[in-house]
């Protein structure tokens, strides 16, 4: 596909909305707040911000520039930008595309759960008085077939959006949903802060406790930064390949990272004051969002409305992330096998639905199918988050730092000041690969 007829995002707002859309997801809303609270509050926040600035942003810039310089997906970008066709580097690209598909298979399941909870909130059944036992209800729901239904609904929504293409699908949906997401965030945060006893929640989130800080804090902060920024598997390369030629890469990467971090912090400001105000225990992951919060909404005045807003927020955040993951596979199929967009979508979504079925049923009908005690869902989550993502991120930084020729990198990073470009390249060459290696080894060996 030539430079001229390749689809591009049409406006600067569209670029920001789409990139923030991929970054802001479940990682911000259910992972970040808890990580902060349990790893020393403000101290972890500081470590996370350092990781985002010095490691995250340079790797985001790399992915964007690989995409825009080559106008291809990560597999094509690695062949195009490496000397002699990058025979080996292409495998790194392939790893990226494969892990994107695997992440999408389990991420879509969780995003599907948010749809069930959204419908229950709207209908009022989530918050009506009665004999609710959130813990049991959540376990029952995820163990049943309804969970598979919602996974398929979610993947169908993705199919429709990516079928409509880059401008009419991805950009348009992001342009509508991202502002709505920010409005929901602000309204909910104000409500939370005004709850009686909100202060304890804010303290849990922000008070720096340096006694909790050790090497593992820093490593978790980096892992969090990576997942949250969506780096490491070519999603951002694909979006970078749709950037207009005058998009400023360093600036876009910084805005995306800044808004992503801000959303994560605001999510904490929404969740923890409410948790403490209602005398609950802060928990992590699915339990926090699908068990603790429904209990809170049931006791809150206007609970059904707040629950609807919250699950809508979670749904929007996860939908725009799944769209970016879908597009990673689609663009690979279009470019590698010269398929029409329709066929590429069918091929990608077919694969993802196949794996998604196994992930969706991992909590019930297929819970006995385990390897090393992990269900299929757990394996996909573990392998991608702990192995593929860090390896992918490290390869991207080595690739752009050492392999891609310097004038190409400099041209893509301009008009950022020369000094800033030098700093980015220095970080990519020396700091990012080593830091990522440290996290990787810690995850594997620890
Ligand atoms: N960043 C998203 C989140 O925070 C998840 C995500 C979307 C992702 N695309 C990705 C993670 C690509 C890694 C790679 O929930």
Structure tokens, 49: 């911000």
Instruction: Return all residues near 30 (Cβ < 8 A) that are at least 6 apart.
Output: 284, 285, 286, 288, 289
Say yes or no: CB of residue 59 within 6 Å of ligand 1.
no
For 49-69, the pLDDT digits (tens) are: 999 999 999 999 999 999 999
How large a percentage of the chain has pLDDT more than 70? 99
pLDDT at 4 over 70: no
Q: Are 319 and 177 in contact (CB under 8 A)?
A: yes
- pLDDT tens digits, 161-220: 999 999 999 999 999 999 999 999 999 999 999 999 999 999 988 988 888 888 778 878
Partners of residue 374 on adjacent β-strands: 371
Q: Give dist(CA 144, CA 425) in Å, integer.
A: 50
Q: Is the distance from the beta carbon of residue 228 to the nearest atom of ligand 1 less than 6 Å?
A: yes
Q: HSE on the CB side for 378, CA within 13 Å?
A: 12
Q: What is the Å distance from ligand 1's center to 326 Cα?
A: 11
Predicted confidence (pLDDT) per residue in 131-170, tens digit: 788 888 999 999 999 999 999 999 999 999 999 999 999 9
Distances (CA, A) of 275 to 32, 35, 288, 314: 15, 15, 9, 17
- For the CA of 28, the closest atom of ligand 1 is 4
Q: Would you say the CB of residue 99 lies under 6 angstroms from ligand 1? A: no
Contact 375, 367 (CB under 8 A): yes
Compute how many other C-beta atoms are within 10 angstroms of the C-beta atom of residue 343. Answer: 14
Q: What is the pLDDT of residues 9-43, one digit of tens each?
A: 999 999 999 999 999 999 999 888 878 877 888 88
Q: Assess whether the C-beta atom of 235 lies below 6 angstroms from ligand 1.
A: yes
Q: Nearest CA to 435 among 231, 249, 252, 240?
A: 231
* Pocket-testing residue among 27, 60, 95, 102, ligand 1, by greatest number of atoms within 8 A of Cβ: 27
Atom of ligand 1 nearest to the CA of 231: 14
Q: How far is it, in rounded angstroms, from Cα 73 to Cα 242? A: 10
Distance 102 CA to ligand 1 centre (A): 12
Token pair of 79 as six digits:
């062949």
How far is ligand 1, taken at its centre, from the CA of residue 22, in Å? 6
Measured CA to CA in angstroms, residue 431 lies from 68, 116, 162, 398 at distances of 24, 43, 36, 10
Answer yes or no: is the C-beta of 224 below 6 A from any ligand 1 atom.
no
Query: Is residue 2 pLDDT above 80, yes or no?
Result: no
Q: Where are the alpha helices (DSSP H) in 248-302?
A: 249-277, 285-287, 293-299
């Amino acid at each position: 596909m030539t430079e001229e007829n390749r689809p591009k995002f049409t406006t600067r707002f569209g670029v920001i909305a789409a990139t923030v859309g991929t970054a802001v997801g479940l990682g911000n809303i259910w992972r970040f707040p808890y990580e902060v609270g349990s790893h020393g509050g403000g101290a972890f926040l500081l470590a996370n911000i350092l990781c985002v600035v010095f490691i995250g942003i340079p790797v985001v810039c790399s992915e964007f520039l690989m995409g825009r310089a080559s106008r291809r997906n990560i597999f094509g970008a690695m062949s195009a930008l490496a000397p002699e066709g990058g025979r080996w580097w292409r495998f790194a690209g392939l790893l990226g595309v494969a892990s994107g598909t695997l992440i999408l298979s389990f991420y879509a399941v969780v995003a599907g759960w948010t749809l069930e909870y959204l419908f229950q909130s709207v209908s009022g059944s989530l918050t009506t008085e009665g004999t609710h036992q959130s813990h049991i209800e959540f376990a029952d729901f995820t163990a049943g077939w309804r969970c598979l239904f919602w996974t398929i609904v979610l993947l169908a929504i993705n199919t429709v959006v990516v079928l409509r293409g880059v401008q009419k699908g991805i950009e348009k949906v992001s342009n509508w949903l991202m502002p709505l997401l920010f409005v929901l965030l602000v309204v909910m945060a104000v409500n939370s802060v005004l709850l009686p006893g909100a202060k304890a929640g804010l303290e849990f989130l922000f008070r720096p406790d340096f006694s909790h800080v050790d090497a593992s804090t820093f490593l978790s902060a980096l892992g969090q930064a990576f997942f949250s920024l969506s780096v490491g598997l070519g999603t951002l390369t694909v979006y970078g390949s749709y950037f207009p030629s005058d998009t400023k890469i360093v600036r876009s990467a910084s805005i995306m990272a800044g808004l992503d971090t801000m959303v994560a912090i605001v999510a904490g400001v929404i969740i923890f004051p409410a948790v403490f105000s209602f005398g609950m225990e802060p928990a992590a992951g699915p339990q926090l969002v699908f068990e603790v919060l429904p209990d809170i909404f049931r006791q809150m005045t206007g609970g059904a409305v707040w629950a609807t807003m919250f699950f809508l927020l979670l749904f929007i955040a996860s939908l725009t992330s799944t769209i970016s993951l879908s597009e990673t596979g689609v663009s690979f199929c279009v470019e590698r096998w010269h398929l029409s967009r329709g066929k590429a979508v069918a091929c990608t979504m077919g694969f993802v639905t196949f794996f998604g079925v196994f992930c969706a049923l991992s909590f019930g009908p297929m819970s006995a199918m385990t390897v090393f005690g992990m269900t299929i869902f757990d394996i996909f989550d573990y392998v991608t988050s702990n192995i593929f993502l860090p390896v992918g991120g490290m390869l991207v930084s080595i690739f752009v730092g050492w392999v891609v020729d310097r004038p190409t990198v400099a041209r893509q990073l301009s008009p950022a000041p020369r000094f800033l470009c030098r700093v980015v390249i220095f970080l990519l060459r020396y700091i990012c690969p080593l830091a990522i290696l440290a996290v990787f080894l810690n995850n594997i060996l620890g």
